[in-house]
Structure 1
Amino acid sequence: MRQTFDTLRETARRRGVRLPDLSRQGSAVVPRRNTPSLTDGPQVTVPGLDLPEERRHATVRGIPTGADGRALPRGYKVSSFGALLGSEIRKRDWTEKMAHGWVMGHWDELVGAKIAQHTHVEMIKGGEVHVSCDSTAWATQMKYIQREVLAAIAAKVGPDVVTKLHVYGPRTKSWRYGPLHVKGRGPRDTYG
């Protein structure tokens, strides 16, 4: 054992590693090798182990260790999936996109079942909601109540997430057939 310690010390000196001089620490630090047993000689004391328990485990860097220097056992307290998902959403700055998705998914709660039956959210882009209606009468009514709809959205997801409501009537059939066509007035019906 003594021979391996001497070879390790010699190897460290050759590599330029500076070893601490433990002989200057006093007799209370390291017991001498020639003592008959550890109980007869002085006890080993390591500086810093007499710290309070909460300070000993509050390390900023590295793996927290116990009094004997070994790593502390792994804690099995696991965060909930909702907490992990919420922190990830905040870290990646997805809160506005998640609010837009909530508006699209809960449209019937925001405007009511009757209005949701005749309207559909097509997309939300740049804080503006694009809504299509199944008739021009419902499109007109949505334009009249758009202030109340925006207030309901602001109450649920927060102010300035959705700023404008675009309302579109039903899509008409295209009467353009083929590459050659004559411009005209198109059909004479409003389709709604």
Structure 2
Amino acid sequence: MSNATSGAGDEQRPAADPSGASGVDLARVALRAAKEQARARGAAARQRTQARRGGLRSGARADGRDPQPLGSAISRLITERGWETPAAVGGVMGRWPQIVGEDLAKHCVPQRYDDAPDERVLTVRCDSTAWATQLRLLAPQLVARLNETLGQGTVRLIRVLGPQGADRRFGPLRAPGSRGSGDTYG
């Protein structure tokens, strides 16, 4: 028999490698590829197993899933959400007596802060018209002090509200169209 005809029992030999690599080098390349495939299959199997067990577990090294101190977690949340200015203003409302003084703090209470870019208004309610007038006179100095504490441009205007009068109810002792108590402001 000649080699010209190929029979069913003939052995197939690999074609000669054009790069000149020997059989040992080819075996190493094939072994490396098989190991990488096995690692990939193992990693996929581990992920499926961990998903069935309820997700990844924290290991010995620190990562994002580990417990954090409450202060740093809140600071990170405030920074991520962009709540720096409202949080700072909230802190000012808590320290109101130290910022404006005890006498003024007894009679004038901050109500809200509007953080619209063109407004930035702090609304303050006073318990009498006299204190509301006093606060209106002190407003420029108070705005400067608040901006010194919070950062320049945080508060542009202080809106002063006078005492909140009684509800406008009509009854036997009230004239229609009256405004309530005699101490009305605004």
Q: TM-score of the superposition, structure 2-length normalised?
A: 0.56
Q: Return the alpha-carbon distance in structure 1 between the equivalents of residues 95 and 152 of structure 2.
A: 17
Aligned residue for 1:145, secondary structure, equals helix
Q: What amino acid does structure 1 have at the position aligned with 2:105?
A: A
Q: With a CA cutoff of 8 Å and minimum separation of 6, indicate the structure with the bigger relative contact order.
A: 2
The count of aligned residue pairs is 131
Deviation at 1:185, TM superposition (A): 4.7
- Aligned position for 2:109: 120
| 2:50 pairs with 1:75 | no
Q: Return the alpha-carbon distance in structure 1 between the equivalents of residues 84 and 179 of structure 2.
A: 45
Tell me, yes or no, if the aligned pair for 1:136 and 1:169 is still in contact at 8 Å: yes
State which of 80, 90, 100 in structure 2 corresponds to 1:91.
80
Q: What amino acid does structure 1 have at the position aligned with 2:78?
A: I
Tell me, yes or no, if the aligned pair for 1:121 and 1:131 is still in contact at 8 Å: yes
Q: Return the alpha-carbon distance in structure 1 between the equivalents of residues 181 and 74 of structure 2.
A: 54
Tell me, yes or no, if the aligned pair for 2:147 and 2:153 is still in contact at 8 Å: yes
- Aligned position for 1:9: none
| 2:152 pairs with 1:166 | no
Q: What amino acid does structure 1 have at the position aligned with 2:103?
A: K
Structure 2 unaligned blocks of 5 or more: 1-22, 32-58
- Aligned position for 1:34: none
After TM superposition, the runs of 4+ consecutive aligned structure 1 residues lying more than 3 A away are 76-81, 181-188
* Aligned Cα root-mean-square deviation (Å): 3.6
Structure 1 unaligned blocks of 5 or more: 1-21, 31-72
Query: Quick one: structure 1 residues 163 and 78, their matched pair in 2 at CA, closer, same or farther if it must change by over 3 Å?
Result: same
